[in-house]
Chains A and B, each alone.
Chain A
Amino acid sequence: MMTLAQFVELLDIHGADPARWPDPSREAAQELLAANADARAVLAGAADFDVLIARHYRRASPHAGARSEEQAMVRVLARLEAPLPPQRRGLLPRLLPAALLEFDLAPAWPRFAALVGIAVLGFAVGLSDAGMAVTKKSASAIVGTPASSDSDLSLILFEPDPLSAMR
C-alpha cells in the first residue's frame, strides 16, 4: 500500500486532481484515501492550493479583462500588418529542417555556456601539465635540441632576456 509520504509526493508532482495521477498510483492512492484520514486531510489541503492558484490565473486571464486584452491583441496584430519579411527558404533548411529549427529557436544560454566552457577548458589545458608538455615539444622542436629536463626547459622558456640596453 502507498505510504502517506508517497501520497504527499504524488500530490506535489501531479496536483490534487486524480485525473492527472498516473493509473498505477491512482489505484494505490485511492486505497490509502479510503483507509487513512490524514491522507484525506492532505488531499483537501492540496485541492485548496490548486483552487487558489487556478483561480488566480482564471481571474487574471484574458477573459477577465477582455477589453484590455483586445487592445493588446489589436496592437500586436497591427504591428504584424506591416509587410512581412521574406521567409527563410533554400536547400539547407530542407536538408536539416528539424535540427536547425530547434537550434535556431533554443534559448541563448546553452550556447553561451558552451562558449564559456570551451574557453575555460582551453585556459585550464594551457596552464596544466598537458599544455606544458605540448609547449615543451614545440620548444624543443624550435630550439632543435631535445629537452633533457624540466629545469633546462624552464631556462629556455622563462629565462628573461638580459637588460643589456639598460646598462
Chain B
Amino acid sequence: MVGALLLTFTAVTVALSYVDFGTRKANIGIAMLVATLKAGAVAAVFMHLAAEKRLIYRILIFTGFFVLGLFWLTFLAWYDYPIFR
C-alpha cells in the first residue's frame, strides 16, 4: 500500500519537474515538498515511527534540532555574501 503510494509520488516528482512553475525556486520548493511527504511516509510507516516508544522520539527531537541548526548556518551565510540572490 505505502509502497504503491511512494511509487506514485516518485512518478509525480518526475512529472512535476517537467512542469514550469514560473521560477526555478518554485519548482525546487514543490519537488522538496513532495520528497518530504515521501520521507514522512517512509518514516511513519516503514520505520513505524507512527507509534514508537517515547525515548526514540526524544532522540529524534535532538536530531531534528541539530540538523535544522546545521541548515540554519547555511542560511546565515546569506548575510556574509552579497552575491546571494
**Do the two chains bind?**
no
